[in-house]
C-alpha cells in the first residue's frame, strides 16, 4: 500500500498556455507590469523577498540599458537610514542591490559593508562540517547560495577583493557537495541534522542555478581575480544541473513544484521556479562556451511558460509560499494565490531581463539557438 498523499496532485489545475510573444516589445510590456505591481506591495522589510525583487528590477533595467530605478535607490537609502536589523543570512539579500546601485550612489556601499560586518562577526552564522553556511543550525539550504552567496560575490567584486569572491565560490561548491545528487545532477532543497532530504524543489534549483551563473558571469567580467579551479568546478556542476532540468521539463515549460514529478506533487506547477531556472539557462547560454543546445531551448520554454502566469494586474500567479525545508514531499504542495508573493515577482523580472539580454546577444527565442550566436568563453576575460 502506498503512503503517498495524492489529494493535491489529483486536483491540480491544467497548465496555462505559455506566453506566445517573446519579442522585446512584448517582454518590456510584461516587465513594466511586473515592476508596477511589485511596488504596489510596499516591499516593507529588509529581507530576502525584497532582495529578490530589487535585484530583479535592476537586472531588468540593465537589460534595457537604463539607469537603476530611482525608486530602488530611494528604498535602499530609506531602509538604511532607518536602521537595518540583521539577524539571519536572508537579511543579506538586499545587499546585492545596494552594491550594484553603489556604482552610481557610493553611499549605498555603507549598507553593504554593515551587512558584511555582521557576516564576519556574528556568532549566529553556523556552518556544516564542510564549511557550507547553514540556513538554520543543522540545516544547509539551497536558498543560502542566492541570499548570502551572491551578496559575497558582488561585495568582492565591488571592493576588488578576491578572497570574498573565493568565499562565494567555496559556498557554491560546499552546498553542491551536500545538495547536488551525484547521479541526477539535481539539487535537493536542504539537509536536516546532517542528512540530505532528497526533494528536488524547483525554486531551490532556481536559487542554485542563478547563483552559479552569477559566479561565472563575475569571472567573465574580469574585474577581480577568480580561482580557475573554482570556476571549472562551478561551471561543471551548473552544466550538469541545467542539463538534468532540461531533460525533465514538460512541453509547456513549467516544472512541477518538485521537478522530478514526485507523485504527491506531480502536476502542481510552480512558475517562479521556471522563471528563475529559465533565466539561469539563458544567462548560461550567453556566458558558457559549450552550453548544451537543449538547455537553451529549455530556457526559452521555461521563460515563456512562466510568463504565461503573469496576469493582467502584473502578478505572477500560482507561486508557492515562502517555503521552509520539508521533511516529506507533500509539504511542497502549498501554492498561495490568495496574495502576491514578492519572490515570484522578482524571479519573473529576472526571467524578462535574461530574455531581453539573450535576444540582444543573438539567441533566437523562435528556434532556441541562433546560428549566429557569438562564442563567449567560460573562462575569465578582461573587460
What is the per-residue pLDDT across 339-365, written as a single tens digit (0 to 9) for each?
899 999 999 999 999 999 999 999 999
Residue range of the domain that includes 342 = 30-360
pLDDT, mean over the chain: 93
The arithmetic mean of pLDDT across residues 179-203, rounded, is 98
Contact 333, 268 (CB under 8 A): yes
Would 8 be classed as within a structural domain? no
The whole-angstrom separation of Cα 340 and Cα 338 is 7
Confidence of residue 7 (pLDDT cuts 50, 70, 90): confident
Least confident window among 115-129, 194-208, 254-268: 115-129
Buried (b) or exposed (e) across 173-196, using 16+ Cβ within 10 A?
bbbbbbbbbeebbbbbbbbeeeeb
Would 119 be classed as within a structural domain? yes
Residue 285 CB-half CA count within 13 A: 32
pLDDT computed for residue 8 by the predictor? 87
Confidence of residue 123 (pLDDT cuts 50, 70, 90): confident
Cα 2 → chain centroid: 34
DSSP string, 38-104: HHHT---SSSHHHHHHHHHHHHHHHHTT-PPPHHHHHHHHHHHHH-----SGGGGHHHHHHHHHTTT
- Which percentage of the chain shows pLDDT scores above 90? 89
- Ramachandran angles phi, psi of 272, nearest 5°: -65, -35
The arithmetic mean of pLDDT across residues 192-214, rounded, is 98
pLDDT computed for residue 4 by the predictor? 85
What's the CATH code of the domain at 173?
1.50.10.10
Whole-number Cα distances in Å, 306 to 13, 35, 140, 173: 15, 16, 27, 28
Query: How many other CB atoms are there within 10 angstroms of residue 166's CB atom?
Result: 18
pLDDT of 304 over the 50 cut: yes
The whole-angstrom separation of Cα 41 and Cα 339 is 10
Digit-coded pLDDT (tens) for 27-70: 999 999 999 999 999 999 999 999 999 999 999 999 999 999 99
Confidence of residue 366 (pLDDT cuts 50, 70, 90): confident
The whole-angstrom separation of Cα 36 and Cα 16 is 23
The arithmetic mean of pLDDT across residues 143-149, rounded, is 98
Cα angle 93, 216, 48; round to 5: 10
pLDDT of 373 over the 50 cut: no
Provide the number of structural domains found in the chain. 1
pLDDT computed for residue 367 by the predictor? 61
Would 195 be classed as within a structural domain? yes
Q: What is the pTM of this model?
A: 0.95
Task: Enter the C-alpha cell of residue 125.
Answer: 552564522
Would 375 be classed as within a structural domain? no
Residues whose CB falls within 8 Å of the CB of residue 142, separated by 6 or more in sequence, listed in order: 175, 179, 187, 188, 189, 190, 201, 204, 205, 207, 208
Would 381 be classed as within a structural domain? no
The arithmetic mean of pLDDT across residues 299-313, rounded, is 97
The whole-angstrom separation of Cα 338 and Cα 335 is 9
The arithmetic mean of pLDDT across residues 108-137, rounded, is 94
Would 211 be classed as within a structural domain? yes
Highest mean pLDDT range out of 305-319, 325-339, 353-367?
305-319
The whole-angstrom separation of Cα 269 and Cα 262 is 12
Would 220 be classed as within a structural domain? yes
Tell me, letter by letter, the H, E, C secondary structure of 85-138.
CCCCHHHHHHHHHHHHHCCCCHHHHHHHHHHHHHHHHCCCCCECCCCCECCECC
Would 368 be classed as within a structural domain? no
Task: Enter the C-alpha cell of residue 212.
Answer: 552559479
pLDDT computed for residue 2 by the predictor? 57
Amino acid at each position: 500500500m502506498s503512503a503517498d498523499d495524492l489529494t493535491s496532485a489529483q486536483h491540480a489545475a491544467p497548465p496555462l498556455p505559455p506566453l506566445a510573444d517573446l519579442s522585446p516589445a512584448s517582454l518590456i510590456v510584461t516587465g513594466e507590469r511586473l515592476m508596477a505591481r511589485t511596488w504596489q506591495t510596499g516591499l516593507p522589510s529588509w529581507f530576502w523577498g525584497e532582495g529578490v525583487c530589487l535585484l530583479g528590477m535592476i537586472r531588468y533595467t540593465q537589460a534595457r540599458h537604463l539607469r537603476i530605478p530611482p525608486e530602488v535607490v530611494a528604498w535602499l537609502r530609506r531602509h538604511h537610514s532607518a536602521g537595518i536589523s540583521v539577524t539571519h543570512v536572508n537579511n543579506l539579500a538586499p545587499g546585492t542591490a545596494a552594491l550594484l546601485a553603489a556604482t552610481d550612489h557610493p553611499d549605498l556601499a555603507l549598507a553593504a559593508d554593515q551587512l558584511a560586518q555582521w557576516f564576519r562577526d556574528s556568532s549566529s552564522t553556523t556552518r556544516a562540517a564542510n564549511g557550507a553556511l547553514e540556513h538554520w543550525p543543522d540545516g544547509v539550504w539551497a536558498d543560502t547560495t542566492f541570499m548570502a552567496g551572491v551578496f559575497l560575490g558582488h561585495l568582492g567584486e565591488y571592493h576588488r577583493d578576491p578572497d570574498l569572491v573565493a568565499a562565494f565560490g567555496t559556498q557554491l561548491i560546499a552546498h553542491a557537495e551536500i545538495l547536488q545528487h551525484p547521479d541526477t545532477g539535481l539539487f535537493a532543497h536542504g539537509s536536516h541534522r546532517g542528512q540530505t532530504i532528497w526533494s528536488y524543489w524547483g525554486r531551490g534549483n532556481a536559487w542554485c542555478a542563478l547563483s552559479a551563473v552569477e559566479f561565472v558571469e563575475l569571472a567573465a567580467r574580469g574585474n577581480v581575480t577568480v580561482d580557475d579551479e573554482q570556476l571549472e568546478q562551478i561551471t561543471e556542476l551548473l552544466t550538469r544541473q541545467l542539463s538534468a532540468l532540461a531533460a525533465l521539463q514538460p512541453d509547456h515549460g513549467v516544472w512541477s513544484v518538485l521537478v522530478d514529478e514526485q507523485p504527491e506533487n506531480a502536476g502542481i506547477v510552480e512558475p517562479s521556479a521556471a522563471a528563475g531556472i529559465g533565466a539561469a539557462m539563458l544567462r548560461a547560454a550567453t556566458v558558457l562556451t559549450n552550453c548544451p543546445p537543449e538547455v537553451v531551448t529549455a530556457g526559452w520554454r521555461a521563460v515563456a511558460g512562466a510568463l504565461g502566469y503573469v496576469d493582467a494586474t502584473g502578478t505572477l500567479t500560482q507561486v508557492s509560499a515562502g517555503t521552509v525545508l520539508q521533511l516529506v514531499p507533500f509539504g511542497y504542495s502549498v501554492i498561495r494565490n490568495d496574495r502576491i508573493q514578492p519572490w515570484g515577482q522578482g524571479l519573473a523580472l529576472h526571467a524578462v531581463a535574461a530574455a531581453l539580454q539573450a535576444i540582444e546577444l543573438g539567441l533566437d527565442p523562435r528556434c532556441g539557438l541562433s546560428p549566429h550566436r557569438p562564442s563567449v568563453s567560460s573562462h575569465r576575460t578582461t573587460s
